Structure 1
Amino acid sequence: MSELDLALVHALQVRPRASWSDLAPLLGATAVTLARRWERLTGEGLAWVSAVPGPAFAHGGCTAFVFLRCAPAARERLAARVAELPEAVTVELLAPGRADLMLDVLASDPGTVHRFVDEELAALPDVLDVECVFATSLYAEGSRWRLGSLDASQLSVLGRPRAGDAAGTPLADLNALDRALLDALVRDGRTRLTELADLTGTSAATARRRLHRLTTRGVVAFRCDVAPAVSGLPVSVTFRGHAPAHDVNRLHRTLATLTECRLLAAVTGAANVLATYWLRDIGAVQQRETAACAHLPALHITERLLGTRTVKRMGHLLDGAGRRTGVRPIRPW
């Protein structure tokens, strides 16, 4: 990975669909060079851009975290099987403990999550136990995480990405064309308008208009994901803990500001805080827990879940090194 590669990835984390010509002056390279480097990064599974639920999803959709326990010999087999299910947008293998797999589940409502958990997951032959908690607030998630390769002046030039309207568009209002566009963009969030038009059987003008509507109304957002070879953070740890209700809303001002915070949520259940960090080595786990408790003294960590491998991240299948190898499109809309 060159410095230009890292800067390019960071720029796309801020503006995932920016044109190469827009990014060229900022990064000091030609548009052709940027396009060629991005093609190499995506071809090697090191970085990719995809469509994800936008801010409106927090109002009209449902996010849950599911913990599965299975027999030790069934871990890889179960992870591969669950990764084929579109509701399980992220699947992570955990170090042996009280749970063997952690899933991120997105659905239109809690009832759909319950049906998925009770009728599909619990019915799988390898599953011994299931726990499901719902996110009541998301203070940090993957699309907000940054690589940190650009300086302040470069970030200022990029500007703040325009946030979608949190009120959003009801999911039921999406038509067949909207859903076809979303399917294509989940696979590759940088698909050009002309290609989107060909894939969905419409004109480029219509594709542009419908995509603009989906983004400005907060239905869809875009994010740039990376393999550990790019981030330099190969260790994933998820802390579960409890904080008094009056302290929970302080999470976004405390734990979310800590370095390497990937996910931070207030959740249902006795352990009402869930936080995931990407770290440089196993020794940093204790340091991160100590820092979290120092920032929020009322927080009591009840469980530490060490990720051993991410099998699927937001619909994208990953190999043992965290490189993208394929897609199983998510359809939470």
Structure 2
Amino acid sequence: MQDSPLLDDLDRRVVHALQLSPRASWAQVGAVLGVDPVTAARRWERLRADGVAWITAYPAPTSTRGPMALVEIDSAGRSLDIADRLADDRECATIDITSGGRDLMLSVTARDLAGLTDYLLHRLGALEHVRSIRTHLSTRVITEGSGWRLPALTESEQARLQVASGPVDRAATAVLSAAERAVLSGLVADGRASTAELAASTGMNPRRVRDLVRDLLRSGRLVLRTELQAEASGWPIYAWFFLRVPAAAATTISPRLGSLPEIRTVLQIAGPSNLIMAVWLRELTDVSRLEAAVERQLKEVEIVDRCVVLRCTKRVGVVLDETGRRVRTVPML
């Protein structure tokens, strides 16, 4: 097993810059960071080649992505076997091996509810060694991991990069055309793939590709997600919390949860636990600390259950090795 590299200050600044503007030119990144563009590009390429950081792409939750569910599996002690068998499933976006009252937590998507039901009943239901499956259908995505930031840039530096990335115009149609899906496919493995590379892989001319990428980003229909190895981030502890909140208060409490810096994902769920959130923390003791802080600040929230992720083998389509480094990307539906 390789030791996880310690990111130095410039590494962290490059990652944060690309979280804010994943396709910013190296000239833009270098100008904001105060370094030569070649230096910034070299730092990123080393992180990417080592599997420590990466950029992938997928349709936004409000776009053509269909229903999503969190699935708890009791695997009878065969968690790794099941995780390996599901790794290449396009429907299975994230696979967490966990402690607590379940062995596996899966994030599952499909084009429509019928497809999701079919996957749950026939693919997961037919797996050997699975003793029980509990499904939580998501009714609303409050916060997702693409919005999590590695705090390394000043507010003014962040503002300069956000201006460079341009405004979002959500008036465009949500449906992705065949040409847009072809471009999306090219961005899945590398969200910084050049216009020339995308043109070569799609068979379209470079100007057409450039326009499609710009329109997808400006419409908010495409998510470009800059990720990194959890251990290298400084927040290596990954946990899920299951919450129960009065229905009338859910719409006001959910955004308040999503604003906490440790929280990566908040989902409203149709079930006994009507909110589920994922967090990254610095130390294992922070699990209890965060739980106490939530209960103290949000009196309406009842924490029903929690679990710590022992290993994440797939994160939003990206298959990870035992150290949390990127191995390959499986396109999501």
TM-score normalized with structure 1 length: 0.93
Q: 1:47 aligns with which of 50, 53, 77?
A: 53
Q: Which residue of 2 aligns with 1:141?
A: 144
Task: Work out whether residues 86 and 315 of structure 1, in 8 Å CA contact, stay in contact via their aligned partners in 2.
Answer: yes
Q: Find the counterpart in structure 2 of residue 13 from structure 1.
A: 19
| 8 Å contact from structure 1 (residues 6, 230) kept in 2 | no
Deviation at 1:213, TM superposition (A): 3.0
State the distance in 2 between where 1:159 and 1:246 align: 34
Q: Is the alpha carbon distance of 1:251 and 1:295 closer, same or farther for their aligned partners in structure 2, counting shifts above 3 Å?
A: same
Q: Which residue matches 2:74?
A: 69
2:113 counterpart of 1:110:
yes
Letter in 2 for 1:224: T
Q: Counterpart in 2 of 1:153?
A: 156
2:328 aligns with one of 301, 314, 326 = 326
Within 5 A, what are the aligned runs for 1:1-333?
A: 1-54=7-60, 56-57=62-63, 61-72=66-77, 74-95=78-99, 97-159=100-162, 161-162=165-166, 164-166=168-170, 168-171=172-175, 174-175=177-178, 177-331=179-333
**Shift of residue 211 of structure 1?**
2.1
Distance 1:162 1:90 in 2: 30
Q: Could you tell me how far 1:321 is from its partner in structure 2?
A: 1.5
Whole-angstrom distance in 1 between the partners of 2:38 and 2:250: 47
Q: CA, structure 1 residues 216+157, in 2 after alignment: closer, same or farther (shift >3 Å)?
A: closer
Deviations 1:180-235 (A, max 9, x none): 22112111100001000001111111111222333333321211001023311111
Shift of 1:309: 0.6
Q: Distance in 1 between matches of 2:218 and 2:62?
A: 10
Q: What is the CA–CA distance in structure 2 between the aligned matches of 1:32 and 1:328, rounded to whole Å? A: 30
Q: Which range is displaced more, 59-68 or 177-186?
A: 59-68
| Change in 2 beyond 3 A, CA 1:213/1:152 | closer
Q: CA deviation at 1:24?
A: 0.8
Q: Which 4+ stretches in 1 moved above 6 angstroms? A: none
For the residues of structure 2 that align with 1:197 and 1:204, how far apart are their CA atoms? Answer: 5
For structure 1, the residue ranges without an aligned partner over 5 or more in a row are none
The one-character-per-residue Cα deviations of 1:69-95 (angstroms, maximum 9, x if unpaired) are 1111x1101011111100111111111
CA distance in 2, matches of 1:198, 1:210: 15
**Which residue identity lines up with residue 330 of structure 1 in the other structure?**
M
**CA shift for structure 1 position 61:** 2.5
Residues 209 and 159 from structure 1, CA distance in 2 versus in 1: closer, same or farther, beyond 3 angstroms? Answer: closer
Deviation at 1:157? 1.5
- C-alpha deviations, 1:26-64, integer Å up to 9, x for none? 10111111111111000111111111222533x762221
Report the CA distance shift for 1:129/1:55 in structure 2 as closer, same or farther (over 3 A): closer
Gaps of 5+ in 2: 1-6
DSSP-derived class of the 2:153 partner: coil
Residue identity opposite 1:5 in structure 2: D
Superposed CA offset, 1:120-177 (max 9, x none): 1111112221111122222211110000111112112223555645465344x521x3
TM-score norm. by structure 2 comes to 0.93
Aligned pairs, number = 326
Amino acid at match of 2:287: V
Identify which range, 140-149 or 205-214, moves more after superposition: 205-214
RMSD after superposition: 1.7
